[in-house]
């Protein structure tokens, strides 16, 4: 904890030497490498006191090689921001999924101590990898988000917390340091975390959160090299359990997650990659208590390359891309779990992203999916339209 306070103090001092929170970073604004809440804060920074709003949405079609396909208004998000004064803003994000489900994805107060040092408190995105923060449909290739960001990260991952965020353009980095509530590993009826999708079912999402042990989340993004952006993420803590299991052995597990990510742009070519690794303590006891098959370690990565077929002078862009994913939610298992090779998954996704305008994209791709359990690929065609404004 002493080291954590030292890091926060260093970031505080560095921030006073920075020039501005919204300076264009190494990837440039042409790639829209800001996300929804950053755009809301940017808009609020440029206007007198009052409200601004935005949103994004996706309508998707998924057709596997066998069986019926599905057409879905997968998500429609409304973003609102209010500026109380030059230092104090509020941002919230209301999400509608599949037309019938409503969630609050973000709701936090941002207080600017300086141009580059902000205190944030509320329901916020956990900064891990790329997609968990940058998931607006015009900011990534592919109709569906990378699967590693569903099973390992797990997106969209948001919890309630407080911390510091800002940037130093002198040193070319953006930083975030938060304390959040943790995952819920057991709700009193059953264990929630398991081998098939890792921690995903343990997200509490700000809804009647159970908490006792705070979890630490940190990320640094470096943008000092033109065309390149590098990210290092960390998340450390323990899962939570309801009162009746609070002191029972195996009701909680320790969590350590590290993420590395990179994005690169040079003229018509873009690339990105991500590596995530997680390790867990007391998983033997957890599985013994719950009968689940939770791993003691998970890991995975993806790499992606894309090329714009249209002239750089065009307003529209047409990217062809290929992405390869390799991830395992049973990378290492405790002695009371049999390793399931079906949880070691590989995917190749290739397709097109046609940006009709800066805020509108039409996408189509095909996915080849396989596991270490079988060499047979299953396939799926996807198509969709996305907007962000």
Predicted TM-score (pTM) of the model is: 0.90
Q: Decide: 262 and 231 in contact? Cβ < 8 Å.
A: yes
pLDDT of 16:
38
Backbone angles phi, psi at 388, to 5 degrees: -150, 125
**Residue labelled with tokens 């990510």:** 261
Owner of token pair 């042990």 = 213
Residue 46 is predicted with a pLDDT of: 87
Using DSSP, state whether 280 is helix, strand or coil: strand
Kindly state the tokens that stand for 273.
Answer: 């990659």
255 in Cβ contact with 244 (< 8 Å): no
8 Å CB contact between 81 and 101: no
pLDDT score for 52: 95
First-to-last alpha carbon distance for the chain, in angstroms, is: 40
DSSP 145: P
Q: What mean pLDDT is predicted for residues 52-73?
A: 97
| Mean of pLDDT values over 144-168 | 96
Apex 296 CA angle, 290 and 300, nearest 5: 125
Cα R_g (the chain), whole angstroms = 21
Residue 21 has pLDDT above 60, yes or no: no
| DSSP-assigned beta bridge partners for residue 261 | 231, 274
Predicted confidence band at 389 (pLDDT cuts at 50, 70, 90)?
A: very high
Predicted local confidence at residue 247, as pLDDT: 86
- Closest to 383 measured CA to CA, from 335, 332, 337, 349: 349
* pLDDT for position 169: 87
Q: Kindly report, residue by residue over 223-257, the tens digit of the pLDDT.
A: 999 999 999 999 999 999 999 998 899 999 999 99
CATH of 2-388, one of 3.40.630.40, 2.40.160.10, 3.40.50.1000, 2.60.120.20: 2.40.160.10
* pLDDT at residue 13, as a whole number: 44
- Find the mean pLDDT for residues 159-177: 95
Separation between Cα atoms, residue 319 and residue 219, nearest integer Å: 29
Write down the mean pLDDT value for the chain: 91
pLDDT at 115: 81
Rounded to an integer, what distance in angstroms lies between the CA atom of residue 121 and that of residue 124? 8
At 362-383, the pLDDT tens digits run 999 999 999 988 767 899 999 9
Model pLDDT, residue 27: 53
């Amino acid at each position: 904890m002493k080291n954590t306070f030292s890091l926060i103090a260093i970031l505080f001092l560095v921030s006073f030497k920075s020039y501005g929170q919204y300076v264009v970073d190494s990837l440039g604004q042409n790639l829209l490498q800001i996300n929804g809440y950053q755009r809301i804060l940017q808009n609020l920074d440029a206007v007198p006191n009052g409200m601004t709003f935005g949103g994004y949405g996706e309508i998707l079609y998924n057709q596997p090689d066998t069986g019926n396909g599905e057409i879905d208004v997968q998500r429609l998000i409304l973003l609102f921001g209010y500026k109380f004064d030059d230092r104090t803003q509020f941002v919230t994000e209301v999400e509608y999924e599949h037309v019938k489900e409503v969630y609050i994805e973000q709701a936090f107060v941002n207080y600017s101590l300086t141009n580059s040092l902000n205190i944030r408190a509320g329901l916020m995105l956990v900064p891990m990898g790329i997609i968990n923060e940058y998931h607006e449909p015009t900011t990534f290739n592919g109709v569906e988000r990378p699967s590693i960001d569903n099973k390992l990260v797990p997106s969209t991952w948001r919890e309630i917390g407080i911390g510091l965020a800002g940037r130093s353009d002198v040193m070319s980095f953006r930083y975030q340091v938060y304390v959040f509530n943790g995952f819920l590993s057991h709700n009193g009826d059953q264990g929630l975390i398991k081998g098939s999708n890792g921690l995903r079912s343990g997200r509490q999402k700000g809804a009647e959160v159970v908490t006792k042990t705070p979890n630490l989340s940190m990320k640094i993004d470096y943008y000092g090299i033109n065309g390149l952006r590098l990210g290092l993420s960390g998340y450390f803590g323990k899962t939570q359990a309801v009162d009746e299991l609070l002191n029972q052995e195996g009701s909680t597990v320790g969590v350590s997650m590290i993420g590395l990510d990179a994005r690169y742009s040079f003229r018509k070519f873009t690339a990105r990659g991500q590596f995530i690794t997680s390790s867990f303590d007391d998983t033997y006891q957890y599985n013994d208590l719950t009968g689940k098959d939770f791993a003691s370690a998970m890991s995975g990565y993806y790499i992606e390359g894309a090329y714009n077929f249209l002239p750089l002078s065009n307003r529209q862009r047409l990217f062809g891309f290929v992405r390869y994913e390799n991830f395992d939610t049973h990378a290492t298992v405790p002695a009371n779990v049999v390793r399931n090779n079906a949880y070691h998954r590989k995917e190749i996704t290739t397709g097109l992203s046609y940006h009709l305008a800066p805020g509108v994209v039409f996408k189509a791709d095909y996915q080849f999916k396989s596991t270490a359990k079988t060499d047979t690929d299953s396939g799926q065609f996807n198509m969709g339209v996305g907007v962000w404004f």
